[in-house]
Chains A and B, each alone.
Chain A
């Protein structure tokens, strides 16, 4: 596998008195898309939040390229070139689509080329440019959250369940959009939709009970039904 852009080693995270991550070892290879799978409550969201510094790891190491980021504050981690799309999308409902994107452009100006690219990926962003983000539909909110992540080129994007609650037609459109995003940046995506995961993933890691229990190439997992059955309790094909 290519060299890791992001690597977690022995990461432990506590939330209050609960011990949630029990020594997570995870490598996200440079370029391409790594899918993070696992049942509900396995600790996927906690892992992403720990990388962002939104939860503080109590032990272990988190490296982005040459930087140890484990003890850093969230804004500093973001400034190293990580974009985060949380499970609830985290859009600012009281701000317009334009204002949401403007905030994500750190130099206070949006790159025209990237904006044109975003409008091509998600035409709704152009249509509702001056509308309040809170008035968008669920799918459009997700598109806005992702647009906000890509308004600048990032080294790494962390995206938590981008298809959650979306209609099948919109998921199909999302798959096309993600194929474009993969060309632009390295992605770590948490996903429950196995069709989505298999269509896009280059690499895969599976979590259970706060640990990584499998890591490899998506193609290998996709080809091995018994492995899927064992890791995920179902096969990828059964969930199209």
Chain B
């Protein structure tokens, strides 16, 4: 290495550019600009919700090398918890007043996060703690946990798809000439950006964040410096599970339905996102989620049969370019 100061924490911007590049690439394949705008906003909104659901899982993997399929249960049970709060308050959701809508939404969201977090805490203690360091057992045990959770949903809430009321004040769309942008999608983007900004702030500006970043790279060394990484891990696990519940509730209001298999269905996309982003990287997870959301919406329009396949193709292309994901964490 030659003299001169190293640039402070040089940022790698190439992956960030993939998002606008992908949007522009899709433009010629879509017949009208308003359609393209609609699909792009829908893709970003979907990406933001997937990011909210996936962000905790990528940190959990990075910190403790744990493969947790049961994360899908936090999403679906979180969503059902929100729905249980929303349905009795249906009238408030249908009032044309933001304040009245919010008095229904706020407790629903809190319920989703509380239930997600509590369930996460319980799963960590009961299922995951006994199988540290053994990926095969983790996959089996957490898959089992996901299946049991799905059955439990059938028992508690019944086997049928439940329609979810969407709040009136975030229904409808903003219109700009020919272009219509659904209000709920804008809300999803705002919440997603808020979660990302908060996580970035905590990770980069606080001592707790410093510990998490160090722990994701080398948990053994963090312990050797005198920190109890287990506590850190449980905290991240519970926070990540609460976020999964939040994402599940938002997804339920977006789809206007909930069903027991929703968590399992979303887990496929979430794993693709985490692998694309680089296991353990929150920024990578964010960009990966946006890419996956956009690809799902563009191909859903251009060639609906290829929707899932296209995301797998996206993952393969990213891994050909960067075999350990967009932002590889320097595991040592």
Of A74, A128, A131, A135, chain B has the most CB atoms within 10 Å of the CB of A74
A21 CA to B207 CA in the complex, in Å? Answer: 38
B329–A94 touching, CB < 8 Å? yes
Tell me how many residues of B have a C-beta within 8 Å of chain A.
Answer: 27
- Rounded to whole angstroms, the CA-CA distance of A128 and B227 in the bound complex is 26
Task: Assess whether A93 is in contact with B226, with CB atoms less than 8 Å apart.
Answer: no
Tell yes or no: A96 within 8 A of B by CB. yes
Is B135 engaged at the interface, CB distance under 8 Å to the other chain? Answer: no
Other-chain contact of A75, B1, B213, B218, B226 (Cβ < 8 Å): B226
Q: Which of B10, B224, B332 contacts A84 (CB 8 A)?
A: B224
Q: From residue B84, how far is it (CB to closest CB) to chain A in Å?
A: 41
Counting chain A residues whose Cβ lies within 8 A of the other chain, the interface size class is 20 to 34
Contact mask A114-145 → B, CB, 8 Å, 1/0?
Answer: 00000000000001101110111100100000
> Known contacts A94-B213, A94-B329; is A74 also within 8 Å of B224 by CB?
yes
* B8 close to chain A: CB less than 8 A: yes
Does A229 interact with chain B (Cβ within 8 Å)? no
Do the beta carbons of B214 and A103 come within 8 Å of each other?
yes
The distance in angstroms between the C-alpha atoms of A54 and B330, with both chains bound, is 21
B220 within 8 A of A: yes
- Least CB distance from A118 to B in Å reads 16
Residue A162 interfacial (CB < 8 Å):
no
Q: List residues of chain B with CB within 8 A of the CB of A90.
A: 218, 220-221, 224, 332
| A135–B6 touching, CB < 8 Å | yes
Q: Closest A-chain residue to B281, C-beta based? A: A94
Contact B214 A95 (CB under 8 A): yes
Whether, in the assembled complex, A79 has its beta carbon less than 8 Å from a beta carbon of chain B, the answer is yes
Cα of A135 to Cα of B210 in the assembled complex, Å: 18
Do B210 and A75 touch (CB < 8 A)? no
Q: Is A225 an interface residue (CB 8 A)?
A: no
Interface residues of B in 1-18 (CB under 8 A from A): 1, 5-10
| 6 tightest A-B CB contacts, nearest first | A131-B6, A78-B226, A93-B330, A90-B221, A74-B223, A130-B8
User: 14 more A-B contacts (CB under 8 A) besides A90-B221, A106-B226, A136-B1?
Assistant: A74-B223, A78-B225, A78-B226, A90-B220, A94-B213, A95-B210, A95-B217, A103-B211, A106-B225, A127-B5, A128-B6, A130-B8, A132-B6, A132-B9
Q: Which residues of B contact A (CB under 8 A)?
A: 1, 5-10, 207, 210-211, 213-214, 217-218, 220-229, 329-330, 332
17 A/B residue pairs, CB under 8 Å, sorted by A: A74-B220, A75-B223, A78-B223, A86-B221, A90-B220, A91-B221, A93-B217, A94-B217, A94-B330, A96-B8, A103-B225, A106-B226, A130-B5, A130-B8, A131-B7, A131-B9, A134-B330
